[in-house]
């Protein structure tokens, strides 16, 4: 099978041009339409000067045209950068500046955001009216819809995904065709995706997990059902699975937990569903038991892995309903082409049962962070024992007596909330830059809400300055997306320090656990 992602989709399209490829509400595209439109748009991009290796930023909501844009960019030999259009303009500007694109592909929904962006890059409109666009969908239709010659090689970057960065600026993980291809070569036979499958597209398109939804579905001839971003309530999500008659539901544990808490799943629900997959966070065993009792015909698989190693690096298919609701679900064994080591500080293997840091090696590893050699060198390291390249995950884990891997926590201040990967340092940088803040610290504590984690901010104001949570939140919302905004606040005269003069974070966490509630 060709290792180029768009070629995988073309092959599926050649076999079944009239079958449904992508669906969102009443908008549907067949494989043939996806193929033709992406070919036309690719030619339009080339006409606009897009060349091999150039970046194209996508300012589009999750909908069929965004999938067409991704494929078109790849066919033009370029690299797409999906952007969260719900993020504030200041953050989007940072990402666009870092990506250094030669073109933005935008749809009408991004018009307001575009009007606030100070970037000197041409815009092509792909859906709806976009003010100032160089050309639009009507122009696209004029291009030849036939297949383009191959421009890229499997080791070339296909997309760059920007995730939260601890120093305040989002960092871009470079993902190649071959990295995604390696995961698909393991995952498609393992999960058995095939034509006739109806597969969810739940995570946003700037999430690593959506890569599996898109290319896993479209290279296996199945239909991708994009879940509209405004379907948020547990019962709405359950109706979506039911009405679309999905055969596979892949999401983050927060969603499974939220649906369980809302008791949105009834006994014998979702009769078409065959596979349930989650990734990105710990799924509480009680939540898994809830789902397995109500939807017993499904297989249930836990995928584990960071964006830096593409989609997932290990898996565990649960053999039976968990009896012990305190025993965490293993992250299992490495996916094909990957290896995971539990190492101590001297890079020696931790004995079974002992906690070490998880290091990943294999075909899924990224070449590194976009234009950031220093960060790349820090975490993509050479194993001193074998000379092989490894990614230092920052995750703590252990191997049990059966050889199964378990996730234990983080070695740093990266957290997950609602499935979003967040560096608390990025929030701290934003709070510190609010005028009048003398010092601040952001910590996370477990919570009962949808995210499963509450982001808590303690701050001290400069003398004579009065700041309250509402003002701080207002300023921060200009810099950070809503999922990164703290929900608990605490003003102190001075932040507690430990003997080394560093902020005493355990002490602060205690104060938040004992004290405030969500705003």
Binding site for ligand AMP (CB under 6 A): 163, 208, 279-282, 302-307, 331, 393, 395, 407, 410, 416, 421
In the complex, least distance from residue 282 CB atom to ligand AMP, rounded to whole angstroms: 4
Residues 39, 33: Cα–Cα separation, whole Å: 10
In the complex, least distance from residue 146 CB atom to ligand AMP, rounded to whole angstroms: 37
Q: Which is nearer to ligand AMP, 41 or 455 (CB)?
A: 455
In the complex, least distance from residue 62 CB atom to ligand AMP, rounded to whole angstroms: 17
Residues 78, 58: Cα–Cα separation, whole Å: 12
In the complex, least distance from residue 419 CB atom to ligand AMP, rounded to whole angstroms: 8
Q: Which is nearer to ligand AMP, 84 or 208 (CB)?
A: 208
Residues 6, 14: Cα–Cα separation, whole Å: 12
In the complex, least distance from residue 494 CB atom to ligand AMP, rounded to whole angstroms: 32
In the complex, least distance from residue 314 CB atom to ligand AMP, rounded to whole angstroms: 8
In the complex, least distance from residue 207 CB atom to ligand AMP, rounded to whole angstroms: 7
Query: In angstroms, what CA-CA distances link 20 with 37, 206, 224?
Result: 14, 23, 8
Q: Which is nearer to ligand AMP, 134 or 333 (CB)?
A: 333
In the complex, least distance from residue 71 CB atom to ligand AMP, rounded to whole angstroms: 23
Residues 382, 404: Cα–Cα separation, whole Å: 24
Residues 162, 88: Cα–Cα separation, whole Å: 15
Q: Which is nearer to ligand AMP, 199 or 331 (CB)?
A: 331
Give DSSP secondary structure letters for 83-104: --TTS-HHHHHHHHHHH--SEE
Q: Which is nearer to ligand AMP, 197 or 423 (CB)?
A: 423
In the complex, least distance from residue 415 CB atom to ligand AMP, rounded to whole angstroms: 9
Handedness of CA 173, 178, 182, 184 (dihedral sign): positive
In the complex, least distance from residue 332 CB atom to ligand AMP, rounded to whole angstroms: 9
Q: Which is nearer to ligand AMP, 389 or 421 (CB)?
A: 421
Of 369, 375, 372, 495, which Cα lies nearest the Cα of 428?
495
Q: Which long-range contacts (CB under 8 A, 24 or more apart) does 446-449 make?
A: 447/487, 447/518, 449/487, 449/518
Q: Which is nearer to ligand AMP, 137 or 305 (CB)?
A: 305
374 is written with which tokens? Answer: 């220093």
> Is 453 within 8 Å of 513 (Cβ atoms)?
no
Query: In angstroms, what CA-CA distances link 284 with 273, 278, 431, 440?
Result: 21, 12, 32, 31
Of the chain, the end-to-end C-alpha distance in Å amounts to: 52
Q: Which is nearer to ligand AMP, 213 or 281 (CB)?
A: 281
Q: What is the dihedral of CA 480, 205, 233, 479, to 10 degrees?
A: 10
Q: How many CA atoms lie within 13 A of 126 on its CB side?
A: 31
In the complex, least distance from residue 278 CB atom to ligand AMP, rounded to whole angstroms: 7
In the complex, least distance from residue 175 CB atom to ligand AMP, rounded to whole angstroms: 11
Residues 87, 121: Cα–Cα separation, whole Å: 19
DSSP H helices in 16-171: 31-47, 64-75, 89-99, 111-116, 137-140
Q: Which is nearer to ligand AMP, 384 or 409 (CB)?
A: 409
> Is 114 within 8 Å of 106 (Cβ atoms)?
yes
Q: Which is nearer to ligand AMP, 183 or 459 (CB)?
A: 183
In the complex, least distance from residue 330 CB atom to ligand AMP, rounded to whole angstroms: 9
Q: Which is nearer to ligand AMP, 165 or 306 (CB)?
A: 306
Q: Which is nearer to ligand AMP, 65 or 82 (CB)?
A: 82
Residue 392 phi/psi, 5-degree rounding, is -85, 110
From start to end of 166-258, where are the E strands?
A: 171-176, 198-201, 223-226, 248-251
3-state secondary structure of 463: coil
Q: Which is nearer to ligand AMP, 35 or 423 (CB)?
A: 423
Q: Which helix (H) or strand (E) holds 261?
A: helix 253-261
Length of the chain: 519
């Amino acid at each position: 099978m060709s290792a180029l992602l768009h070629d995988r989709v073309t092959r599926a399209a050649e076999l079944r041009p009239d079958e449904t490829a992508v669906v969102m509400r009443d908008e549907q595209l067949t494989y043939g339409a996806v193929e033709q439109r992406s070919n036309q748009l690719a030619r339009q991009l080339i006409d606009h000067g897009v060349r091999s290796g150039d970046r194209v930023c996508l300012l589009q909501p999750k909908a069929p045209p965004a999938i067409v844009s991704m494929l078109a960019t790849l066919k033009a030999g370029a690299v797409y950068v999906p952007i969260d259009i719900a993020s504030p303009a200041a953050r989007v500007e940072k990402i666009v500046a870092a990506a250094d694109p030669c073109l933005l592909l935008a749809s009408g929904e991004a018009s307001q955001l575009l009007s606030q962006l100070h970037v000197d890059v041409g815009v092509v409109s792909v859906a709806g009216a976009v003010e100032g666009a160089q050309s639009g969908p009507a122009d696209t239709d004029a291009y030849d819809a036939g297949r383009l010659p191959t421009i890229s090689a499997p080791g070339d970057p296909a997309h760059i995904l920007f995730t939260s960065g601890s120093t305040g600026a989002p960092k871009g993980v470079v993902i190649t065709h071959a990295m995604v291809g390696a995961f698909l070569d393991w995952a498609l036979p393992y999960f058995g995706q095939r034509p006739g499958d109806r597969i969810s597209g739940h995570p946003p398109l700037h999430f690593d997990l959506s890569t599996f939804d898109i290319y896993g579905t479209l290279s296996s001839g199945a239909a991708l059902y994009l879940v509209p971003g405004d379907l948020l309530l547990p019962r709405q999500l359950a109706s979506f699975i039911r009405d679309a008659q999905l055969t596979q539901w892949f999401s983050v544990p927060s969603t499974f937990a939220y649906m369980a808490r809302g008791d949105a799943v009834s006994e014998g629900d979702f009769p078409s569903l065959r596979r349930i997959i989650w990734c990105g966070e710990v799924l509480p065993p009680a939540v898994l038991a809830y789902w397995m009792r109500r939807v017993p015909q499904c297989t249930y698989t836990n995928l584990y892995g960071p964006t830096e190693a593409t989609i997932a690096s290990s898996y565990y298919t649960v053999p039976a309903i968990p009896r012990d609701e305190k025993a965490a679900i293993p992250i299992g064994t490495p996916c094909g082409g990957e290896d995971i080591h539990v190492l101590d500080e001297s890079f020696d293997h931790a004995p079974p049962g002992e906690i070490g840091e998880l290091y990943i090696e294999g075909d899924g590893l990224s070449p590194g962070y976009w234009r950031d050699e220093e960060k790349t060198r820090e975490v993509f390291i050479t194993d001193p024992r074998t000379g092989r390249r490894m990614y230092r995950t920052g995750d703590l884990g252990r191997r049990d007596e059966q050889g199964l891997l378990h996730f234990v926590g983080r070695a740093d201040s990266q957290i997950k909330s609602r499935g979003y990967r967040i560096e608390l340092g990025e929030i701290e940088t934003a709070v510190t830059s609010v005028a009048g803040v003398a010092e601040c610290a952001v910590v996370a504590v477990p919570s009962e809400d949808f995210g499963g984690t509450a982001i808590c901010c303690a701050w001290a104001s400069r003398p004579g300055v009065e700041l309250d949570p509402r003002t701080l939140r207002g300023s921060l919302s200009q810099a950070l997306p809503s999922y990164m905004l703290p929900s608990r606040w605490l003003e102190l005269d001075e932040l507690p320090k430990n003997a080394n003069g560093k902020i005493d974070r355990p002490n602060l966490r205690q104060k938040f656990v004992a004290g405030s509630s969500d705003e």
